[in-house]
Amino acid sequence: MKAKDSMMHHDGLIFGAQARTALAALAVVSLPLVGLNACADDGGEDDEVGESTGDTADTTTDTTDTTDTTDATETETETDAESETTGEPEDPSPEFENPPEIVSEGGVLMGAMEVLYADNTVVINPTEGGEVTTLDIYTRTYNGSVPGPTLRLSPSDMIDLDFINSLPENADADTPVENHNWPHRLNSTNFHLHGFHVEPTGNADNVLRVINPGVTVPIAMDVPANHNPGSHWYHGHKHGSLLIQFYGGMSGMIVVEGDLDEVPEVAAAEEKIMIIQELGLNDAGEVPEPNLDAQTAADLFDITQQLFPVSGKVNPIIRMAPGEVQRWRLLNSTTASIMNVELDAHDLHVIAEDGITYDAMDTVGALQMAPGDRADVLIQAGAPGTYLLSSPMGMPMPGMEPESQVLATLIVEGEAVDMGLPSDLPEPDYILPDTSAETPDEVYSISFENGMEPGVFTISGDAYDPSCYNYILQRGDVVDWEITNNAGMGAHPFHIHTNAFQVLEINGMPESPARWQDVVPVLGNGGSVRVRMRVDDFVGGILLHCHITTHEELGMMHKLVIVDDTIPEADKVPADEVDLSDPADFNPDIPGYYVSENFNLCN
Ligand SMILES: [Cu+2]
């Protein structure tokens, strides 16, 4: 125990210093955004920050072996650095703040995404009034912040990020993985762009490769010119470490700008990036190690503090003038909450869902959002007063509705302003034309099921098996998925990568309009959903799964490969010519490799 503790302490100091370097750099990036809302850092400033915080990092590393004195020095340095770069007062502010941003410039989104342990302070604004408190946490993060920085780009841009895994070595690095559907290799990761229609292979949206601690790789891809503008999501997707990385706050938003943002009423609305996360912590403010001997999913993590912060603060305060319209980009980044979002005395004017613009604004009193769902919502402030944004939060349990919790507080105050809601939205520039009148080439009927043993979740009786593929799809085909929920009373949200789908039927009833989404909840007690997708543009290995992270991690996930058997014989690459000995190379960017003869079906 003792040896392990001191090692963790050692890591903490080193990685804490790195976190501050990253944070300081990001603070510079985010500063101009307060006024401009879209602006990149300039290289000069960035370099300066790099130099000055480089000194801090050295000092901290040198004094690693001393004890309390080091901590004190470290804290002081941190406070100084923060007040210098951001000018923030020392009192915790409950006011809502957008996360830092990395913004594309000249058509390229460049920068570093570093996964590292970092200290953060979560501001907690109590729902019943009273003093604002803080909670110090120490978790795996992107670039040191919770949530990670917002990535902002446009269609046709290139993404070219340096992805650095600075987590410590895996404790189980030298032992073979006995059960892939149980937490393992907790510090390995990869990078998923949820909702993106891009290459799923190589350095792009590749969720099958493994990025181990100490490894730096590029995250690089072309964003198609006709990509939907909208709100998307990034997070790790390495099977076996996703859940624990979520619990520490490892997720962020990707904003694709476009024609929706140019609608005058939308352009005039102040934008709020509202990432609803779920932190699963112990009393020390750290994500507990999993109990690998647990018999059920519920016993896997000894979580004593469960928080649902919105962009890093619990119940932040949002201020609006009467009549003002704001655009809230809501993202359900929790592990298990089927949210039903409501704002006291206010309608929610939904203009996009899952990053896809609606045909017309849809005004609702409450909005269902499964884990992974995004909603772009316009809010028009009513009379002066205080209003709560709330939703049931937490894992749905048999016979029990999760308790409603306050997510944020809206204070309407000041002089009234005259703003409007849009009467027209731009024609959604779908990558995929409407599929509802087409005849599917393939129909897959699948079912969410509990495994025979506790702690096992399956799709159609088969838990995730990394050694084979559950489905082989042909590029260009139209595919229907009929999903039934045979796993009890709770809903299970269905998600598939790379291609969005149209929701045609829910519980046997046709949906009108048949909206495009990338997550759809399949209700409990035998609920069903029928969706249709066109398997367009890209080949490669992808995943479909339940987006309740615990279920996914414990087996409720299947692997697919999109192939193109119509390519010329000469372009085909035989499997034995592809070197997959290093997990970093899984799912390579070799188009000729993706022909059905190279892949084995699970059954
Ligand atoms: Cu599920």
The DSSP output letter for 12 is H
- From the CA of 556, how far away is ligand 1's center (Å)? 7
Output the pLDDT for position 359. 87
Q: Which helix (H) or strand (E) holds 77?
A: helix 68-86
- From the CA of 63, how far away is ligand 1's center (Å)? 47
- From the CA of 481, how far away is ligand 1's center (Å)? 16
Output the pLDDT for position 275. 98
- pLDDT tens digits for range 550-575: 999 999 999 999 999 999 999 999 99
Residue 444 has pLDDT above 70, yes or no: yes
- From the CA of 234, how far away is ligand 1's center (Å)? 20
- From the CA of 339, how far away is ligand 1's center (Å)? 14
- From the CA of 219, how far away is ligand 1's center (Å)? 29
- From the CA of 493, how far away is ligand 1's center (Å)? 6
Enumerate residues 6+ apart whose C-beta is below 8 A from 376: 230, 231, 260, 327, 328, 329, 330, 350, 351, 352, 353
The DSSP output letter for 279 is E
Output the pLDDT for position 25. 36
- pLDDT tens digits for range 496-546: 999 999 999 999 999 988 999 999 999 998 999 999 999 989 999 999 999
Domains along the chain with CATH numbers? 91-307 (2.60.40.420), 442-598 (2.60.40.420)
- From the CA of 248, how far away is ligand 1's center (Å)? 21
- From the CA of 548, how far away is ligand 1's center (Å)? 5
- From the CA of 547, how far away is ligand 1's center (Å)? 6
- From the CA of 95, how far away is ligand 1's center (Å)? 34
d(CA 376, CA 425): 13
- From the CA of 243, how far away is ligand 1's center (Å)? 13
Please classify residue 509 by burial: count the beta carbons closer than 10 Å to its beta carbon, then call 0-12 exposed, 13-18 middle and 19+ buried: exposed
Output the pLDDT for position 541. 98
Residue 39 has pLDDT above 50, yes or no: no
- From the CA of 448, how far away is ligand 1's center (Å)? 7
- From the CA of 137, how far away is ligand 1's center (Å)? 28
- From the CA of 587, how far away is ligand 1's center (Å)? 26
Find the DSSP H helices in 459-555: 549-553
| Phi-psi label, residue 414: left if phi above 0, alpha if psi -120 to 50, beta otherwise | left
- From the CA of 510, how far away is ligand 1's center (Å)? 23
Q: Which residues surround ligand 1, an ion (CB under 5 A)?
A: 492, 546, 548, 551
Residue 37 has pLDDT above 60, yes or no: no
Residue 578 has pLDDT above 80, yes or no: yes
329-343, 386-400, 495-509: range with lowest mean pLDDT: 386-400
d(CA 235, CA 338): 19
- From the CA of 156, how far away is ligand 1's center (Å)? 35
Output the pLDDT for position 432. 66
The DSSP output letter for 129 is S
- From the CA of 52, how far away is ligand 1's center (Å)? 47
Residue 352 has pLDDT above 80, yes or no: yes
ipTM of the complex: 0.78
Phi, psi of 389 (to 5 degrees): -95, 120
Query: What does the mean pLDDT of the chain come to?
Result: 86
- pLDDT tens digits for range 312-330: 999 999 999 999 999 999 9
Identify the three-state secondary structure at position 56.
helix
- From the CA of 395, how far away is ligand 1's center (Å)? 10
- From the CA of 330, how far away is ligand 1's center (Å)? 21
d(CA 280, CA 299): 13
Residue 73 has pLDDT above 50, yes or no: no
Residue 85 has pLDDT above 80, yes or no: no
Output the pLDDT for position 398. 65
How many residues are listed for the chain in this entry?
Answer: 603
DSSP codes of every residue in 196-238 = --S--STTSS-SSS-B-TT-EEEEEEEPPTTPPPEEEEEE---
* Contact present, 463 and 513 (Cβ < 8 Å): no
- From the CA of 335, how far away is ligand 1's center (Å)? 10
- From the CA of 334, how far away is ligand 1's center (Å)? 13
Output the pLDDT for position 68. 36
- From the CA of 546, how far away is ligand 1's center (Å)? 5
DSSP codes of every residue in 424-449 = --PPP--SS---TTSPPSEEEEEEEE
- From the CA of 444, how far away is ligand 1's center (Å)? 18
- From the CA of 329, how far away is ligand 1's center (Å)? 25
Output the pLDDT for position 603. 79
- From the CA of 437, how far away is ligand 1's center (Å)? 30
d(CA 489, CA 509): 20
- From the CA of 545, how far away is ligand 1's center (Å)? 8
Which has more pLDDT, 32 or 517? 517
- From the CA of 332, how far away is ligand 1's center (Å)? 15
- pLDDT tens digits for range 132-185: 999 999 999 999 999 999 999 999 999 999 999 999 999 999 999 999 999 999
Task: Give 305's strand partners.
Answer: 281
- From the CA of 517, how far away is ligand 1's center (Å)? 18
Residue 36 has pLDDT above 90, yes or no: no
- From the CA of 113, how far away is ligand 1's center (Å)? 29
- pLDDT tens digits for range 481-490: 999 999 988 8
Identify the three-state secondary structure at position 185.
coil
- From the CA of 492, how far away is ligand 1's center (Å)? 4
- pLDDT tens digits for range 466-479: 999 999 999 999 99
Q: What is the mean pLDDT of residues 193-205?
A: 97
